[in-house]
Amino acid sequence: MDVSEVMIDSVETEEKVSLFKGRAIVEGSEVRFSGIAVYTIGGPTVGVTIEQEDEAQLMAKLGKEGFEALIAELQRRIVEGDFTVKGPVRVRRQPL
């Protein structure tokens, strides 16, 4: 599976939790996702959810294992900072 770019369109952060929305280019097609990052001792924990319309198309194209690999790849890239921020970042309160 080819993930050529990961873009974060918006981020809202309050203390140790960030909610974000973004897009990724997967095998030439744009895929929309949303997620949460929780900053803990040892580094962030990230969860990503693909938008329902895109999920159905990807499941048909990639199968269950390929879809799960895509989720893991998106989460890895976000944890490692391998993405571009394209939209606003709102910080309500700084983490401790």
Q: Is residue 88 situated within a structural domain? A: no
pLDDT higher than 70, residue 95: no
Domain count, the chain: 1
Q: Is residue 33 situated within a structural domain? A: yes
CA dihedral 67, 72, 78, 81 (to 10 degrees): -120
The pLDDT value recorded for residue 94 is 60
Judge whether 30 and 23 are in contact, CB under 8 Å: yes
- Report the range of poorest mean pLDDT among 41-45, 47-51, 77-81, 86-90: 86-90
Average per-residue pLDDT in the chain? 91
pLDDT higher than 90, residue 74: yes
Q: Is residue 30 situated within a structural domain? A: yes
Q: Is residue 35 situated within a structural domain? A: yes
Q: Is residue 76 situated within a structural domain? A: yes
